[in-house]
């Protein structure tokens, strides 16, 4: 088995200071993740301006999420084969142009189509951001700091979407939430040309495994489409079961192609033999499955029950944003002292406790008495989980395959968030519908939210269980080349 010692100098010498590079890469990641959540508080304005129906309005969110999740693996592979700097700059430019198209859209179809282009650009850009960090910085404290910064801005982008969306929508109208990406994208491209080194792509034939790319993309799109449709159709509808079945079949065919027929697989299946990477991705899925719906329900509670306007609701998320930033900043030091497993476990337990406290929301509650403590605990839990889980997932993976590993990590975020939102929204809606006649609209609505938060707490505890029982220690002194893992070494890596 061919192993490369991590102490050897990388093929491309890193710049003297990595701070400018990290700022540029993390700004791009922030921009991409921000657009998952920033539209929420602007949806009512979009509905009034473009005359969306309730069913049509959800595709302003879904068009981005579906294309983002579906094309992430292809984006990760492109970064490996074409060069991370080139893919990063191309993805950033495409994202800025798609954002401008969203801002200028004057019809429902144009806006949804432009959101789909945003998702495609995000799928190209996001894996490149992480693989630039892992291929440029040497493994150890320097890379861990870079991964911590990357994880922190991802959490900040997701949690601050409501705040920025509320401010921009109320001050300038809904197109502003998209137009802001144009100057940001131009800044990233201009600085990226100066500070990102020209990292050589993977040597050898540039085979993109077209069959694998089409199958995994179609499978993830179909599966995610079926999941998000449960919000309106229910789990037993043919409109849900058919795409779910098709998605599973396509993903099964993808695994068959990767294992038997692909000359250079899009995803080397040996990556799933690395036990700590499997466990870290499972934790990320469960983390986002409880956190994304938690933010969604909190936004509705603040606006529909406590009657906050868009800016007030956004400001209500500021303590969470600051908590995620603080926890993400401290996480690498805590991991260095205690190791990733106890930190991730404590983070998921903190998220669970926060969700349980939020399950007590009621029409007569207040922000300070009902929301603040639970929101802070869940936010701290996210920061102390996301950063060490990201470090664990990427540690020990060869630089040539870092794009694939980062694509898996981002896919876990999006699929976890989509699945969690669909499942918890369905649970909340069904519970609200059952109680609305007897208890009234406000009590029924908050009771549904409370049940959803309780289920979210269960998901967070499940993540803690994965950390305790399945998360092994990653290799600390060597890099594993995916595809070079022999069958006889499976147990050693999975331990």
Task: Indicate if 251 and 270 belong to the same structural domain.
Answer: no
Q: Is 12 helix (H, G, I), strand (E, B) or coil?
A: coil
Q: What is the pTM of this model?
A: 0.76
Q: Which domain holds residue 330?
A: 3-7+14-197+266-494
CA angle (423, 362, 440) in 5-degree steps: 85
Lowest mean pLDDT among 281-295, 345-359, 430-444, 477-491: 477-491
Pairing of strands 478-480, 3-5: antiparallel
308 domain-assigned:
yes
396 domain-assigned:
yes
**Percent of the chain at pLDDT exceeding 90:** 32
Answer with the one of 220, 243, 265 that is the final residue of a domain: 265
Instruction: Using the predicted structure, report yes or no on whether residue 209 has a pLDDT greater than 80.
Output: no
CB 84 within 8 A of CB 70: no
pLDDT digits (tens, 9 = 90+) for 44-65: 788 778 987 655 666 787 788 7
pLDDT digits (tens, 9 = 90+) for 391-448: 888 776 666 566 677 778 877 887 788 778 778 887 888 888 888 877 778 898 899 9
**Percent of the chain at pLDDT exceeding 70:** 85
Q: What is the mean pLDDT of residues 32-51?
A: 81
Task: Indicate if 179 and 219 belong to the same structural domain.
Answer: no
Beta bridge partners of 479: 4
Instruction: Using the predicted structure, report yes or no on whether residue 486 has a pLDDT greater than 60.
Output: no
Task: Indicate if 215 and 131 belong to the same structural domain.
Answer: no
Answer with the one of 219, 248, 265 that is the final residue of a domain: 265
Distance CA 478, CA 5 (A): 5
- Rg for the chain, CA atoms, rounded: 22
Task: Indicate if 433 and 368 belong to the same structural domain.
Answer: yes
CB 355 within 8 A of CB 453: yes
Residue 175's pLDDT band, with cuts at 50, 70 and 90, is very high
| CATH number of domain containing 380 | 1.20.1250.20
Alpha helices for 83-107 (secondary structure H): 84-104
203 domain-assigned:
no
Answer with the one of 250, 265, 280 that is the final residue of a domain: 265
Task: Indicate if 309 and 163 belong to the same structural domain.
Answer: yes
Q: What pLDDT, on a 0 to 100 scale, did the predictor assign at position 474? A: 54
Query: Which of 465, 426, 464, 478 has its CA nearest to residue 448?
Result: 426
Alpha helices for 105-179 (secondary structure H): 108-136, 141-159, 161-172, 176-179
CB 404 within 8 A of CB 128: no
pLDDT digits (tens, 9 = 90+) for 364-396: 889 999 999 999 999 999 999 998 998 888 776
202 domain-assigned:
no
Q: Is 4 helix (H, G, I), strand (E, B) or coil?
A: strand
Task: Indicate if 58 and 149 belong to the same structural domain.
Answer: yes
Instruction: Using the predicted structure, report yes or no on whether residue 93 has a pLDDT greater than 80.
Output: yes
Q: What pLDDT, on a 0 to 100 scale, did the predictor assign at position 79? A: 79
Task: Indicate if 386 and 417 belong to the same structural domain.
Answer: yes
pLDDT digits (tens, 9 = 90+) for 64-87: 877 887 787 778 778 777 888 899
Task: Indicate if 280 and 378 belong to the same structural domain.
Answer: yes
Query: Which of 475, 338, 288 has its CA nearest to residue 393?
Result: 475
Cβ-count burial 401-433 (b if 16+ within 10 Å, e if not): bbbbbbbbbbbbbbbbbbbbbbbbbbbbbebbe
Task: Indicate if 26 and 173 belong to the same structural domain.
Answer: yes
325 domain-assigned:
yes
404 domain-assigned:
yes
Lowest mean pLDDT among 186-200, 208-222, 309-323: 208-222
Which carries the bigger pLDDT value, residue 138 or residue 453? 453
Task: Indicate if 116 and 220 belong to the same structural domain.
Answer: no
20 domain-assigned:
yes
Tally of domains within the chain: 2
Instruction: Using the predicted structure, report yes or no on whether residue 481 has a pLDDT greater than 60.
Output: no
Q: Which two tokens stand for residue 269?
A: 């299946």
Task: Indicate if 36 and 160 belong to the same structural domain.
Answer: yes
- Number of other CB atoms surrounding residue 260 within 10 Å: 8
284 domain-assigned:
yes
Task: Indicate if 237 and 283 belong to the same structural domain.
Answer: no
């Amino acid at each position: 088995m061919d192993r490369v010692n991590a102490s050897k100098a990388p093929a491309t010498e890193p710049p003297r200071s990595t701070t400018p590079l990290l700022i540029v890469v993390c700004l791009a990641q922030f921009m991409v993740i921000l657009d998952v959540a920033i539209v929420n508080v602007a949806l009512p304005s979009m509905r009034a301006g473009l005359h969306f129906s309730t069913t049509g309005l959800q595709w302003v969110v879904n068009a981005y999420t579906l294309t983002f999740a579906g094309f992430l693996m292809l984006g990760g592979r492109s970064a490996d084969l074409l060069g991370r700097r080139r893919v990063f700059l191309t993805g950033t430019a495409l994202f800025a142009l798609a954002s401008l198209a969203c801002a200028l859209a004057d019809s429902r179809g144009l806006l949804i189509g432009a959101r789909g282009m945003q998702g495609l650009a995000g799928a190209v850009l996001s894996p490149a951001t992480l693989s630039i960090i892992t291929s440029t910085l040497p493994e150890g404290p320097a890379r861990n700091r870079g991964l911590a910064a990357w994880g922190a801005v991802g959490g900040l982008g997701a949690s601050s979407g409501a705040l920025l969306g509320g401010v921009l929508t109320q001050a300038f109208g809904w197109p502003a939430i998209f137009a802001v990406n144009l100057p940001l994208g131009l800044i990233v491209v201009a600085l990226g040309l100066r500070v990102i080194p020209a990292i050589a792509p993977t040597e050898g034939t540039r085979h993109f495994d077209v069959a694998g790319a089409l199958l995994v993309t179609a499978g993830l799109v179909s599966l995610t489409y079926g999941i998000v449709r449960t919000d309106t159709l229910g789990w037993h509808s043919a409109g849900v079961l058919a795409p779910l079945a098709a998605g599973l079949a396509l993903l099964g065919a993808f695994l068959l192609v990767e294992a038997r027929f692909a000359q250079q697989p899009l995803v080397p299946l040996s990556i799933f033999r690395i036990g700590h990477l499997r466990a870290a991705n499972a934790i990320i899925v469960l983390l986002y499955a409880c956190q994304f719906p938690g933010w969604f329900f909190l936004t509705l509670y603040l606006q529909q029950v406590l009657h906050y306007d868009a800016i007030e609701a956004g400001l209500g998320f500021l303590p969470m944003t600051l908590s995620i930033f603080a926890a993400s900043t401290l996480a690498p030091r805590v991991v260095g002292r205690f190791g990733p497993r106890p930190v991730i476990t404590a983070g998921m337990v903190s998220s669970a406790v926060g969700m349980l406290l939020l399950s007590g929301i009621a029409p007569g509650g207040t922000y300070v008495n009902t929301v603040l403590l639970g929101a802070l605990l869940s936010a701290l839990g996210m920061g102390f989980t996301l950063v060490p889980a990201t470090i664990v997932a990427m540690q020990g993976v060869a630089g040539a395959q870092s794009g694939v590993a980062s694509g898996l990590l981002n896919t876990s975020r999006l699929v976890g968030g989509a699945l969690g939102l669909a499942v918890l929204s369905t649970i909340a809606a069904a519970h609200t519908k059952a109680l609305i006649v007897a208890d009234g609209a406000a009590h029924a609505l908050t009771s549904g939210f409370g049940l959803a938060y309780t289920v979210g707490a269960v998901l967070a505890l499940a993540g803690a269980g994965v950390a305790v029982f399945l998360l092994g220690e990653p290799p600390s002194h060597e890099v594993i080349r995916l595809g070079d893992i022999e069958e006889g070494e499976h147990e050693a890596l999975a331990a």
